[in-house]
Structure 1
Amino acid sequence: MAAATLSPARPAAVSTSGVDSTLHRSSIRPTLPRLFQHRASSLRAQSLSSTDSAKALSNDTFSELNEGIAHFYDSSSGVWEDIWGEHMHHGYYDPGLPLQAAFSVNHGDAQVRMIEESLKWAEIPEVDSRPQRIIDVGCGIGGSSRHLARKYGAEVIGITLSPRQAQRATSITSAAGLSSKVSFQVADALNQPFPDSHFDFVWSMESGEHMPDKQKFMAELVRVTRPGGRILIVTWCHRELLAGEESLKPNEEELLKRICDAYYLPAWCPASKYTSLAHSMGLQDVKSDDWTQYITLFWPAVILSAFSFRGISGLFKSGWTTIKGALAMYYMVKGYNSGLIKFALITARKPILES
């Protein structure tokens, strides 16, 4: 799945709360040690001429991009799990609390809450007509897959491009006694090895941003969904263009390219791209929402823990790919705070065929 590289420590407190959306650059920057401030500056300069920009990546072959994504998560997943645990995605926080809440919040609980709130928003049934066969597209090390299996008693298949993630997900699932319900495999979300109409619920938590061809991505999700089944996509998007705009501003494009360079992302899109595709493919009950206000505490917390002693130690053990991702976390904060980056949810239902 397409989450961040590094991670915040898991404090003992159990509250789930948020950070004021007015958090500014000055409140994050001092948390970076001087050495890493220097490296971040070097990364910014490098990214301006990098051939790994969003445009360049989108023109690469899918196989080259897939190899980069697999390497990224092979390198970083161990560090993430060591500090954050099994869930490799944003947490859901009540908006309005100060940055200091990052020290006391139980971020693991917030990540589970993100799953639950997303399911509630998408109106996934819990009793009658609850999903029995689910695919987790971009499964990471299987945190969502296991949660969905427990919640619904469903059969869940998780797919990832990372062999290490698939192996680790399988190991954790076996230890949890869920191997009869949950399985994992290395597979491409744009070319899934499943028959048509195979799943009654398609779950994609923060993997859509890695997809170089959004139309093909949506088409595959629709193909493997049974008639009457539902699709839920939670993903990073850029803001909608304003009236009269034909593109993002140059400084916005530059910021996104820096993030793409670190996290192996192709070109970004607005949430309306997904809803437009959903409508064009004949899906019903299409809706989307912007949940940016509920996740603003996440990246500041990631930064705080990444540059702790434990975090720095894990970074150096993981290598430059993971370090580069950690240095780019500041850009995610800047993107969210400026309104450029949006945390989007999109859901739709595949219509039942008329007899």
Structure 2
Amino acid sequence: MTLLFSTWGSRLRLWFGLPTSPGRRNPPVVAERPLAASARGARTTTTVARAARSTREEVDVERLQRGIAELYDQSSGVWEDIWGDHMHHGFYDSNAVVSLSDHRSAQIRMIEEALRFASLPAEDQLKTPRTIVDVGCGIGGSSRYLARKYGAQCQGITLSPVQVQMAQALAAEQGLADKVSFQVADALNQPFSDGQFDLVWSMESGEHMPDKMKFVIGSSGSAGARTTILTWCHRDRTPSEESLSSEEKELLNKISDAFYLLDLCSSADYVDLLRSLSLEDIKAADWSEYVAPFWPAVIKTALTWKGLTSLLRSGWKTIKGALVMPLMIEGYKKDLIKFSIITCRKPEIAQQDGKQ
């Protein structure tokens, strides 16, 4: 399968006038490069250096966000046509052999398992969320599902204008226009008032975030709100490791470049971050074994006639993402890439009488 996909990828590069063995480009990381000093040395001052570095970081983040938006503008229609309106992994039984028809139910099962892990059973009315923000909402699959399940008001945000249009159209088609709404917005600078939501939901968007701290604290969760993050991570480092190996970094760089990932971290890094913010009821788990059939299935659909023709129409960013899908499988097999769930709860605000 990998050989067939590699051959197809080479042909695609030829069709698009690209070299058959392109050199790897570095992912869009924020690099702190030294400033060139002027003849007088004036530009070497700390103030100017910091200002220049800040400007570079802003430009890099803007470039990253533009790339993410364009990637999903191009690919969302292809995805919805083949896989439906849930743009995320499915949750499978370990070592399951599944057919294509099983994958959409597995995606629903992923949502249900995540809610169960976050202690949000539908039968417990005291824990039922009424207001939800879907951070990195895609074409709104989770938003509509959660709104329907809980009777909640749900607002989704994404960087992709095309996804917003598709999400709104699907909501209207499914009779949920009064329950869900979508807008183009930056997850690191959300357009909501503080404390507006009692469930913060993020299904496979955290891996795109260049600042995990701002991602976590900018969620506008109310007192006692639950945050649930399902995201791609790299493996946890051992106590003796200062960093991943050079070979592991090389593989992650190739994947990050195609999928616009920045500052990919481990599940343990997320837990440490949440603890530093004094959040409560922090839980994390590695669900990699439960998503194992996903990427082979995506490759299989990409190699169908419908998949191939859809990819060719979608644009180079989507094709580039398709070409690195075998590397995702390699990353999972090497236990380098992990599919993680991390949940926490915002502390309750003490009442005037001292009770919680």
- TM-score, length of structure 1 as denominator length: 0.86
- Residue 200 of structure 2: aligned partner: 202
* Deviation by residue 1:124-169 (Cα, 9 ceiling, x = unmatched): 1423121000000000011100000010000000000000000110
User: Which residue, 152, 157, 161 being the options, matches 1:154?
Assistant: 152
User: Which residue, 167, 179, 194 being the options, matches 1:169?
Assistant: 167
User: What RMSD, in angstroms, separates the aligned Cα atoms of the two structures?
Assistant: 2.1
Q: How many residues align?
A: 322
What is the percent sequence identity of the aligned residues? 50
Matches within 5 A, 1:205-216: 205-216=203-214
- Residue 185 of structure 1: aligned partner: 183
In 2: Cα distance, 1:55 partner to 1:61 partner: 6
Deviation at 1:39, TM superposition (A): 5.9
In 1: Cα distance, 2:266 partner to 2:346 partner: 22
Secondary structure of 1:179's match? Answer: coil
- Residue 141 of structure 1: aligned partner: 139
Q: 5+ unaligned residues in a row in structure 2: which ranges?
A: 33-55, 352-356
- Residue 52 of structure 1: aligned partner: 27
Deviation at 1:96, TM superposition (A): 1.7
**CA separation of 1:250 and 1:346: change in aligned 2, threshold 3 A:** same
In 1: Cα distance, 2:136 partner to 2:163 partner: 10
- Residue 90 of structure 1: aligned partner: 89
Secondary structure of 1:158's match? Answer: strand
Secondary structure of 1:69's match? Answer: helix
Tell me if structure 2 keeps the 8 A contact 1:31–1:304: no
**CA separation of 1:44 and 1:259: change in aligned 2, threshold 3 A:** farther
In 1: Cα distance, 2:131 partner to 2:240 partner: 44
Which protein is bigger by CA-based radius of gyration?
A: 2
Tell me if structure 2 keeps the 8 A contact 1:54–1:260: no
- Residue 345 of structure 1: aligned partner: 341
Deviation at 1:56, TM superposition (A): 5.7
Tell me if structure 1 keeps the 8 A contact 2:132–2:152: yes
**CA separation of 1:301 and 1:31: change in aligned 2, threshold 3 A:** farther
Which structure exhibits the higher relative contact order, with contacts defined as CA atoms closer than 8 Å and separated by 6 or more residues?
1
Tell me if structure 2 keeps the 8 A contact 1:52–1:261: yes
- Residue 4 of structure 1: aligned partner: none
- Residue 305 of structure 1: aligned partner: 301
**CA separation of 1:40 and 1:261: change in aligned 2, threshold 3 A:** farther
Name whichever of 73-82 and 56-65 sits farther off: 56-65
Structure 1 residue 74 and structure 2 residue 73: aligned? yes
Secondary structure of 1:194's match? Answer: coil
- TM-score, length of structure 2 as denominator length: 0.86
Structure 1 residue 250 and structure 2 residue 246: aligned? yes
In 2: Cα distance, 1:297 partner to 1:38 partner: 26
**CA separation of 1:334 and 1:38: change in aligned 2, threshold 3 A:** farther
